[in-house]
Structure 1
């Protein structure tokens, strides 16, 4: 709630409403009013007013059996409008499709949000994948190929600052959490044009990613494939898939004019 103290135009009620919406996630699909208040960091009275408003507008409802609050399908409109109007997604569409077809693996486009990467487009194949990563899902930069690819376009000092300000939890026994170790992977991406991750976020899952840059050379997204360890070794993925990922990222970069 701190921005309201310094900004007379800041709407605290709107902030509270958005905090309520963000309280619901995969770990908390339904919530009581008290749980909403706790997760959103507000009083129960504020939570009640925000929930009632969102319920009246059709964004929140009650589960028919448990009578706990849950998000309603209307919430999807908020995210879909962003995706539908995004010029990068339209530009990347044919190249991602081609990448998925030529590689036989799921091809994704992610965008940076804070210290995470968010899936904004994805092409699935008929091949089995060990982990579902739908559009809208957030993954941390520090232990993912797409995050490292995006970080590779930044100066070392900025990368180090971002990593130092980010919790770096060991998601698996293979997760790199040392800032220096992650920086080595970022530097390697600058040299070879792609970044990797092998079972650092999910067991059985790898990533090969390359940055998408605009005309000023600034990263705007990252392209990545998700080859599972059941079908690929990291060396095979680097040899056969990395060139495809790099070319896809470069093609998208050439196609955008901002």
Structure 2
């Protein structure tokens, strides 16, 4: 194996090791070795490198966890890249469908989400969202889309437990305020590949959202949404919004790691 291939293999293993912590907060060296299908000595070398560079730290239990400062810095760099990639695509979409288009991400505690980029409709009558404001994960079309993919692989009891911890507020008469109703709505999002709401969070506002997958399509990194006054919307035209929105989400996802 030449040095280039060897370096690529090490880099790949390092990234895979970091991704293991997205599924489990604390990991032992043996668990890392098993998950990556590498020898225990190789796992020790990998862990030592990540520990020395400040990406993971050793706990009193002798297990390892992510080290917040460096991971947060890396996270902020990725989010900036995400915004830069998405900005021209969002602008093009807003002009094409003549409605407001926004990009949102979930906070690290999986309880709230925020819009981090957007472009308002060129029309005089439009709906605008607040960039940076935090919203409950159970709220609105974007929040429900994030939530659907967060709990996608949970079993029923895990889904019930997760949703039960969320605050289900009755913003309008269309709001979903029971665990069962919200679960059915989330199942439909996963089945359809998009979320559509009308006056569920705010009266007179229609929202349509689609997930943005990473390049490998292994995880949802953000959600792309269109918002409009219900006076602009005809439900028979729903797919005419979903199609360009999905194409835009794919274009963004294919341009980020």
TM-score by length of 2: 0.62
Quickly say closer, same or farther: Cα 1:156–1:130, change in 2 above 3 A. farther
Provide the rounded CA distance (Å) in 1 between the counterparts of 2:240 and 2:136: 26
Q: CA RMSD in A?
A: 2.2
Q: 2:96 aligns with which of 82, 94, 102?
A: 102
Q: 1:112 aligned to 2:106?
A: yes
Provide the rounded CA distance (Å) in 2 between the counterparts of 1:165 and 1:84: 29
Kept after mapping to 2: 8 A contact 1:131/1:202: no
Offset from partner CA, 1:199-225 (integer Å, 9 cap, x none): 111111111001112225211110000
Kept after mapping to 2: 8 A contact 1:130/1:204: no
Kept after mapping to 2: 8 A contact 1:206/1:226: yes
Q: 1:204 aligned to 2:192?
A: no
The runs of at least 4 consecutive aligned structure 1 residues that moved more than 4 Å come to 82-85, 128-131
Kept after mapping to 2: 8 A contact 1:109/1:224: yes
Offset from partner CA, 1:130-186 (integer Å, 9 cap, x none): 654121122222231112222232324454333210110101111111222112221
Stretches of structure 1 lacking an aligned partner (at least 5 in a row): 1-81
Q: 1:183 aligned to 2:200?
A: no
User: What is aligned with 2:134?
Assistant: 138
- Which is further off, 184-193 or 222-231? 184-193
Provide the rounded CA distance (Å) in 2 between the counterparts of 1:130 and 1:204: 11
- Which is further off, 149-158 or 97-106? 149-158
User: What is aligned with 1:68?
Assistant: none
Q: 2:153 aligns with which of 133, 155, 174?
A: 155
Offset from partner CA, 1:11-69 (integer Å, 9 cap, x none): xxxxxxxxxxxxxxxxxxxxxxxxxxxxxxxxxxxxxxxxxxxxxxxxxxxxxxxxxxx
How far 1:84 sits from its partner (Å)?
A: 10
Kept after mapping to 2: 8 A contact 1:144/1:196: no
Q: 1:222 aligned to 2:223?
A: yes
Stretches of structure 2 lacking an aligned partner (at least 5 in a row): 1-75
Offset from partner CA, 1:85-104 (integer Å, 9 cap, x none): 71111111121112111110
Q: 1:247 aligned to 2:243?
A: no
Offset from partner CA, 1:68-126 (integer Å, 9 cap, x none): xxxxxxxxxxxxxx599711111111211121111100000001123222010000122
Report how many residues are paired: 175
Quickly say closer, same or farther: Cα 1:128–1:155, change in 2 above 3 A. farther
